[in-house]
Amino acid sequence: MSAFEKLTAHSKKISNFSHLASICGWDQAAVMPSGGNQARSEAMAELSVHIHSLNTQPQLGEWFEQAEGEELSTQDKATLRELKRQWQQANVLPEELVQAKSLAGSKCEHAWRTQRGENDWKGFEKNWQEVVKLSQEEAQIRAEATGKTPYDAMLDLYEPDTSTESLDALFLNVKSWLPELINQALDKQASEQFIKPEGVFPPEKQKALGLEVMKLLQFDFDHGRLDESVHPFCGGVPSDVRITTRYDESEFVQSLMGIVHETGHARYEQGLPKSLAGLPSGTARSMGIHESQSLFFEMQVGRSSAFIEHLARMAGKHFDGHNPALFSQDNFYKLYTRVEKGFIRVDADELTYPAHVILRYEIERDLINGKIKHTDVPELWNEKMQAYLGLSTKDNFKNGCMQDIHWTDGAFGYFPSYTLGAMYAAQFMAAMKTTVDVESAIRSGDLSPIFSWLSENIWSKGSLLTTDALVTEATGETLNAQHFKAHLESRYLG
């Protein structure tokens, strides 16, 4: 057996344990009774330590050295590159830190589920302090190993080859035109008349509607399912993708589009190259590319007039006891393209959403780089929320800095992926339209031409290409934020 074959066999062993960790994490978030949290946290911490141990076994260094001298195909070279990247990222962390961070994250995240609803910053802060401390330790270790800043070292876990310098420039550009665009859209919509959902929309009917929309989006139910959780997410593994949403009986708008969003994540996972299953080259390229797929589904397709026509018809069928005028295509389009300055990121419209992301990016960047303390976050959040969206979150922690799940387990460096994803999605759509009649495909109810393009250009590539190479091969250029700006101007000012 060659050194490369030894490495791939070892990677598949690690992947099997990661599979179990993913399903356990989904269960913990979606259906596990609260009393099981302590035991589950300990079990998952033990599993994370075991995975870390497999990733850092001493013979791997020798295998990598040997494999780099072997004759490999282009695909195998890409696999070796990703295997080594994964190994280097794992190898720098001591086992004790991996275990401590897993335990602290589980404790903080589980308590957050209750503390957020109670607006309990003091209680949350006590748990979060440890998560931040351990995350800063991790960032410093990674920084020393890579020569990057602490935040850039964490960012590299989610967005390989992306830097604070590039993000600062990108987001500075967005901040130069976004506020005015938001205000113009608000002025344009000020006189619009539309009907809001009123009454009761039972969760079971919302779920039935969501399942029908997932079928339209060609979700593979033999390899995935829909459930409910406090915070919508996509988890599991490509062969068993778990997506969740949350339901509000007073309206269905958010949960329905949340399902469309998570289905985009899931279709990407289900479309990854099966021949590379268990290998890092067969996984999603980056979180930004992953988010581009969910936002392609939700924003580029899901909020198009053609897709809204399907949503309106389906919703009218499932909620037949309500005002029929609510389910007209025109009214639905107004509902799903409504711009409003709000507190909650996951409920934000596509135009104000980047402001939420930039706010979080700027705070976590300075927190991980040690420029601010974790106790500074509520005040900074309030200042930036007022500056970017004109809203105050003073003493409103549940709708401010406690609203997201990401920081509870130390996922620092993740938030930029959301807006990078929106930019990639706009660029993919612009490129797709040069060869695919997107609107006709959506109106017909057979979205196969769209999914074929995504499969050929994005899904089937896994991580065989670098992010820049993937985007360039698909669109003819690296990331160009002008496509995103043009998309927003067309939809909200056109």
Which amino acids are annotated catalytic? 262
CB 358 within 8 A of CB 175: yes
Q: DSSP letters along 325-339, please?
A: GGGSHHHHHHHHT--
Question: 334 is written with which tokens?
Answer: 């107004």
Residues in the chain: 494
Please say whether the beta carbons of 286 and 417 come within 8 A. yes
Give the largest Cα separation in the chain, rounded: 71
The Cα-based distances of 161 to 157, 406, 445, 468, 482 in angstroms read: 10, 21, 38, 9, 21
Q: Which amino acid is at 476?
A: G
Cβ atoms within 10 A of the Cβ of 59, count? 10
How far is the C-alpha of 371 from the C-alpha of 36, rounded, in Å? 38
Residue 410 backbone phi and psi in degrees, to 5: 80, 30
Say if residue 193 is exposed, middle or buried (CB neighbours under 10 Å; 0-12, 13-18, 19+): exposed
Sequential DSSP letters for 40-106: HHHHHHHHHHHHHHHHT-THHHHHHHHHTTS---HHHHHHHHHHHHHHHHHHTS-HHHHHHHHHHHH
